[in-house]
């Protein structure tokens, strides 16, 4: 894309950031409606919009055009976050983590395998073909979900403005939501920083690979996605906070491996597997945790969490590309480790606060 529009790496990183900013704003606008509207009808609207936005990217003729269209792709991509609370609503409480793990396994497999697919297709037919195929896929998915999803009555009848105001109350009343939102944002920050800059790393010595090889790393990362149902069961049994702690440690370990051994293929593969397992585990555990807070407000809880989540991801895409432009791969890994260190400090502080409250109560 950078070559097509004759722009720098950091500028095309800004386009990636705008897609995720669009997702965050799309979730803020659309996802709360899942608590007060028919989710099936809402999905039909969003997937139709995604189809049109993808067509806009495929036909883009300049940087402004593709930036606006990419922002729209992100905004309408919020459709997936209507499906997640839908699954949580249908799942029995004692197996919600397992069900969400299965859903997220499909979600992350789609994200990672899309990298493989897009890398191969783009290398043979160009990047525009990827978006043309994606537009057709969204059209087909819209028709399939319209035909197959159950029609469930909304859990509330609040107007959109009231739903928006209630988000503030949810953030204020639930410390666990605030913590999970921050930790989730930190995890997607480092995840996005890695995947945005991986293609740049693979084009440099000693690799000298093209986009098709970069895409194949999605197959490596799929190992983490396949662990999601197991992570969900673990969160059901041991509790989501313990799972989040292990996720942060695993993700930090992945960037230590990537920083030290990232220029060696075996080290890069091990780092990718650890990264995807860590990020996926943290995401499943965070969402299992927040959906237990208020059964009548799951879409709004998901809105708060996912807006923060994708805001973190958008910053990771942009700052990862900036770090690569200035200091290369080690700067990307150092930035990611710094963000994870802050996340672990926040987690440790909240753990001490919880222990203090337990002592005071006793």
Supply φ then ψ for residue 263, to 5 degrees.
-90, 5
Domains of the chain by start residue, with CATH: 2-148+174-352 (1.20.1250.20)
Higher pLDDT, 122 or 229: 122
Long-range CB pairs of 208-212, under 8 A, 24+ apart, other chains included: 210/123, 211/118, 211/119, 211/122, 211/123, 212/119, 212/120, 212/122, 212/123, 212/124
Lowest-confidence pick of 2-11, 194-203, 217-226, 263-272: 217-226
The DSSP line for 74-139 is HHHGGGHHHHHHHHHHHS-GGGHHHHHHHHHHHHHHHHHHHHHHHHHHHHHH-HHHHHHHHHHHHH
User: CA 80 to CA 31: how far, in whole Å?
Assistant: 9
pLDDT computed for residue 27 by the predictor: 81
The overall average pLDDT reported for the chain is 84
pTM over the 0.85 mark: no
Lowest-confidence pick of 87-101, 223-237, 259-273: 223-237
> How big is the chain by its Cα radius of gyration, in Å?
20
pLDDT computed for residue 65 by the predictor: 93
pLDDT computed for residue 360 by the predictor: 37
Question: In a 10 Å sphere around its CB, with 0-12 CB exposed, 13-18 middle and 19+ buried, how is residue 361 labelled?
Answer: exposed
67-113: pLDDT as tens digits: 999 999 999 998 888 887 777 777 777 777 777 777 877 887 787 77
Question: In a 10 Å sphere around its CB, with 0-12 CB exposed, 13-18 middle and 19+ buried, how is residue 61 labelled?
Answer: exposed
Supply φ then ψ for residue 239, to 5 degrees.
100, 145
217 contacts 316 by C-beta, under 8 angstroms = no
Cis bond upstream, residue 186 (ω within 30): no
Quick one: DSSP state of residue 32?
Answer: G
pLDDT computed for residue 235 by the predictor: 66
pLDDT computed for residue 223 by the predictor: 65
Neighbouring CB atoms inside 10 A of 151's CB total 8
- Under 8 Å CB-to-CB from 168, ≥6 apart: which residues? none
pLDDT computed for residue 355 by the predictor: 43
294-336: pLDDT as tens digits: 877 877 888 889 889 888 988 998 899 899 988 899 999 999 9
Q: What is the dihedral of CA 24, 334, 283, 18, to 10 degrees?
A: 20
Question: In a 10 Å sphere around its CB, with 0-12 CB exposed, 13-18 middle and 19+ buried, how is residue 233 labelled?
Answer: middle
Tokens encoding 132:
């043309």
- Under 8 Å CB-to-CB from 101, ≥6 apart: which residues? 228, 229, 230, 231, 232, 233, 235, 284
Lowest-confidence pick of 27-31, 142-146, 166-170, 249-253: 27-31
156-174: pLDDT as tens digits: 667 778 878 888 899 999 9
160 contacts 32 by C-beta, under 8 angstroms = yes
Confidence of residue 253 (pLDDT cuts 50, 70, 90): very high
Distance from the first to the final alpha carbon of the chain: 60
């Amino acid at each position: 894309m950078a070559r097509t529009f004759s722009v720098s790496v950091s500028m095309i990183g800004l386009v990636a950031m705008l897609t995720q900013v669009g997702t965050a704003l799309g979730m803020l606008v659309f996802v709360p409606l899942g608590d007060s509207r028919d989710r099936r009808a809402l999905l039909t609207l969003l997937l139709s919009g995604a189809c049109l936005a993808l067509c806009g990217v495929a036909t883009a003729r300049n940087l402004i055009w593709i930036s606006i269209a990419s922002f729209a792709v992100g905004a309408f991509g919020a459709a997936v976050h209507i499906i997640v609370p839908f699954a949580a609503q249908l799942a029995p409480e004692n197996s919600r983590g397992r069900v969400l793990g299965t859903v997220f396994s499909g979600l992350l497999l789609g994200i990672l395998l899309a990298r493989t697919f897009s890398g191969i297709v783009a290398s043979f037919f160009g990047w525009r073909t990827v978006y043309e195929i994606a537009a057709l896929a969204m059209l087909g998915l819209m028709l399939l979900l319209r035909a197959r999803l159950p029609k469930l009555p909304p859990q509330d009848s609040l107007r959109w403005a009231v739903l928006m105001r209630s988000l503030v109350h949810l953030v204020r009343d639930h410390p666990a939501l605030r913590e999970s939102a921050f930790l989730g944002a930190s995890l997607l920050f480092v995840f996005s920083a890695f995947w945005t800059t991986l293609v740049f790393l693979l084009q440099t010595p000693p690799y000298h690979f093209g986009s098709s090889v970069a895409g194949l790393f999605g197959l490596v990362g799929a190992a983490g996605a396949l662990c999601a149902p197991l992570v969900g069961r673990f969160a059901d049994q041991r509790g989501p906070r313990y799972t989040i702690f292990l996720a942060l440690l695993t993700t930090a370990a992945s960037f230590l491996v990537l920083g030290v051994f990232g220029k060696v293929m075996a080290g890069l593969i091990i780092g990718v597997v650890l990264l995807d397992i860590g990020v996926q585990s943290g995401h499943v555990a965070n969402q299992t945790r927040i959906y237990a807070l208020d059964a009548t407000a799951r879409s709004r809880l998901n809105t708060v969490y996912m807006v923060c989540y994708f805001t973190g991801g958008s910053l990771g895409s942009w700052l990862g590309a900036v770090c690569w432009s200035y200091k290369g791969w080690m700067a990307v890994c150092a930035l990611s480790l710094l963000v994870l260190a802050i996340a672990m400090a926040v987690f440790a502080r909240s753990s001490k606060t919880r222990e203090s409250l337990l002592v005071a109560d006793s």
